[in-house]
Structure 1
Amino acid sequence: MSIYSHFILFIYKVITAIVAPLGATFLCYKKRNDPPYGMDVFQLLGFYKKNKSRYVWFHGASVGEINALTPLLKEFIRTHKDEKVVLSTLTTTGLALAKKIEGAKAVIAPLDSPIAVWGFFRAFNPKSLFIIDTELWPNILDRAKKKKCPVVIYNARLQDKNVTKYKKHLGLVTSLISNKLSAVLCMSHNDRLRFIKIGVPEDRVCVTGNIKYDLKPRDLMFDGSRIQKTNLGDNVLGAISIHEGEEQTVIDAYLLAKKENPNIKLIFVPRHQTAGKLACEYLDKLGIKYQLRTEVPSVNSLKEDILIGNTIGEIEFYLGLCDLVFMGGSFVSIGGHNPLEPAYFSIPIVTGPDFHNFTEQFDKLIEVGGAFVAENKESLAKYAIRLLSQRDELNKAGINALDVQQQGRGALQKNLKIFENYL
């Protein structure tokens, strides 16, 4: 690295070392309505129990990433029984899912401060690091380089707007990030070109596809829920992964649709507990009755037309109740959520206008008629009315969605094969 790059990295280390405790405090406050960090908050600052073994480190930022990497990690554990695996994530909801993966030690990831990162490397002495999607943290990459721990980014994606930002400081980005990546396994050829533009050597970047097409949902949970669905009828709209700020839009759309079709029911599954709490408050304000999943041991116990999914790890149960799904995070500036899970179960999808995190998947689904874009609550209501009343169109859309999901499979094995070079 140049003297300038060394200086910038030094300044970054000083600043992150100072603000790390504040960052941990902020995360605790921000997630106060989700499962609390509890004593795990100290892991953010690098306090881990020291282990004698060397670990293979997998990292996924939150729930979505943990869900996506689970099939790959389970296959890795199955075929590498002698390897110790640590799986890190930054959220408590992600941690809850990570703890369900047998054979992996689930922890909260360290913040990108030199002390926290040092603590993690001291505890687990990782022999390799595999990061899903694109999280590029200078302190982690610097420590990995010094410890000769190869870093592989897989299911990698990069947006044009980020390339523009990185290119303004290309020399710095190349020194602090790009040159420290051992391999970048991209979702598409366009992503590969973008990573090359920000300084990653061409021979370290390849296209392996999107492992999210290789998802392996729990069919038994879905089937069990589907059997119970007969008690709900066939006019069920699912609102999945709803974020704070879009709960009222979704509920308003449902109420508009219900004026045309009184039989429509709503399965409302928030991404975080805050959105669920706000949805309940809004329904209370409107005087509309609902039930919480924790109050409904079986679908037979559901007496109201709205079910609020206030549990974690039951996405297949909720999908099993749905005829049509709206994917959240798309009426707010989140960028949408993965539509491939409902597609796997042949359930048509509606998204809001902002799905930039899943452009590839939605573009394919929209092109074949497996997904639809609702610009606002009125548009969402119209899709719910139309599709739930026209079963032939609904069923055809579901088949089209499944075709897209099936055609994209194969990336999981490609990634695992390349991983062997970095163990």
Structure 2
Amino acid sequence: MYLLYDLLVSLTLLLLAPGYLVLGWLRRKPRQGLAQRLGCFPADHFAALRGRPVIWIHAVSVGETRAAVPLIRHLRQRWPRAALVLSSVTETGHQIAGGIAEVDARLYFPVDSGLVIRRVLDRVQPDLVLIVETELWPQFIRQCHLRRIPLALVNGRISDRSFPRYHAVRRLLRPLLSQIACFCMQSAIDAERIARLGAPAERILTTGNLKFDPAGACLPDQDDAALRVQFGLAPQVRVLVAGSTHEGEEEAVLSAFRQLRQRGHELLLILVPRHPHRCRALADLLDKNGLPWRLRSAAPAEPLGAGAVLLVDSIGEMLHFYALAELVFVGGSLVPVGGHNLLEAALLQKAALHGPHMHNFREIAAWIGQAQGFGLVQDVADLTAQLDHLLRDPERCRRSGTQAWQLLQRHAGASARTLEALQPLLQRRGIDS
């Protein structure tokens, strides 16, 4: 079975590689990490790991990487001698990993073929592997198991969308799951689902959601005035942030923004697309709408004021933008993407709105909505109406943001519970605090 799997992976790689390279050329930016994905690294890439126990954390992209930060910081505190390696699949996830001080080495996750995985494991030599959320790569899991390297799923979740697909192939998943030493799941529902897929019941724990742990947040150390100078914004202008937006949502946000301006709100928009490479198309959209705008990466000539848009072509600064916001809209939710993290806004005590497509964060959206007393918007008209109402009631905005923050505090602690679950695995490898 694994030989057939390797053949399919190799064939897929051969078929996709030309498109992968052409896409990089069309974007005028070469695709990053190809050599690492094939298991090739400079001789000194893992020099910081020598002579130390190694914990390898794998987080596929930006959301999983940010979710892993509180756990990474707790790992560093509990096992200071251990070297921490963080891998990502996406370029944006890799960039975020580069900003986490506790990480000793980062890499692009290797292609899941036996030859490549063995080569990378020879270089990294991990004592423990942690997979964030649900990244079930068969050869990676198998090769770790063959080497008796304990592997744990942390912050595990099985979404509404993925569960039917996993359930359809549960007979194939069962032997794979049997090779995982521990399942630290976000919720009781996630724990039940992983058990139904064939995970051994005695290895399943409900540890909570790492995203509730504020220890993972790199909170802005500048005050409001300093952040406005940094981003080139006028001193007193009120700020609306639309974060992690996707294609089809920016039109709705801009429509709402124009209507709010017509209703007399002196408002500036910070528009943060989920994928920064879309900024070129969004610049054309802003021009079409007749809105003055500036890229985040451009040197500010003069401060942007009411009616203008700061178009963000950087990553890793979301909390800084939320710190300036009077109100937040979280994208991926007016279109059927599944939503994005509402907890970042809660951490900054900001009121947040979102659309109806929040199936990836259904439980969190429900909790935040109950704490704030609002949150869900159905369409552009609803978004405009709720923004208009809240902008006219700043005290309610502040109170709702505080209530969301208090909710976050009540649900914190997933990192500590996860560490307790991992400690026996590390002790088995002879690693003490």
1:302 pairs with 2:304: yes
- 1:318 is matched by which residue type in structure 2? F
- 2:304 is matched by which residue type in structure 1? L
Cα distance in 2 between the residues matched to 1:112 and 1:219: 36
Cα distance in 2 between the residues matched to 1:34 and 1:148: 42
8 Å contact kept, 1:293–1:311: yes
2:82 aligned residue: 83
Q: Residues 262 and 134 from structure 1, CA distance in 2 versus in 1: closer, same or farther, beyond 3 angstroms? A: same
- Where in structure 1 are there 5+ consecutive unaligned residues? 1-6
2:154 aligned residue: 154
Q: Which has the higher helix share?
A: 1
Q: Residues 88 and 370 from structure 1, CA distance in 2 versus in 1: closer, same or farther, beyond 3 angstroms? A: farther
Shift of 1:160: 4.2
Deviations 1:314-361 (A, max 9, x none): 222211221100001112232111111110111011111111111111
Cα distance in 2 between the residues matched to 1:72 and 1:228: 31
Q: Residues 301 and 77 from structure 1, CA distance in 2 versus in 1: closer, same or farther, beyond 3 angstroms? A: same
1:413 pairs with 2:413: no
Cα distance in 2 between the residues matched to 1:254 and 1:33: 32
1:145 aligned residue: 145
Alignment equivalent of 1:357, drawn from 356, 360, 371: 360
2:372 aligned residue: 369
8 Å contact kept, 2:220–2:320: no
Alignment equivalent of 1:40, drawn from 33, 46, 49: 33
1:3 aligned residue: none
How many aligned positions are there?
A: 414
RMSD: 2.5
2:429 aligned residue: none
> What is the TM-score with the length of structure 2 in the denominator?
0.88
- 1:141 is matched by which residue type in structure 2? I
Higher deviation after alignment, 218-227 or 36-45: 218-227
State the secondary structure of the residue aligned to 1:291: strand
Alignment equivalent of 1:348, drawn from 348, 351, 358: 351
8 Å contact kept, 2:32–2:91: no
Cα distance in 1 between the residues matched to 2:24 and 2:353: 28
Cα distance in 2 between the residues matched to 1:351 and 1:226: 28
Cα distance in 2 between the residues matched to 1:201 and 1:148: 18
1:24-423 pair list within 5 angstroms? 25-27=18-20, 36=29, 40-49=33-42, 55-102=54-101, 103-175=103-175, 177-216=176-215, 217-221=217-221, 223-224=223-224, 228=228, 231-233=234-236, 235-296=238-299, 301-303=303-305, 305-369=308-372, 371-423=374-426
Shift of 1:373: 1.1
8 Å contact kept, 1:160–1:194: no
- Where in structure 2 are there 5+ consecutive unaligned residues? 427-433
Shift of 1:203: 0.4
Alignment equivalent of 1:14, drawn from 3, 7, 10: 7
8 Å contact kept, 1:214–1:409: yes
Deviations 1:252-274 (A, max 9, x none): 22122222134122111122113
Identity across matched positions, percent: 27
8 Å contact kept, 2:356–2:378: yes
Shift of 1:97: 1.5
> What is the TM-score with the length of structure 1 in the denominator?
0.90
Shift of 1:157: 0.8
Cα distance in 2 between the residues matched to 1:386 and 1:232: 23
8 Å contact kept, 2:276–2:315: no
Cα distance in 1 between the residues matched to 2:26 and 2:396: 40
Q: Residues 86 and 36 from structure 1, CA distance in 2 versus in 1: closer, same or farther, beyond 3 angstroms? A: farther
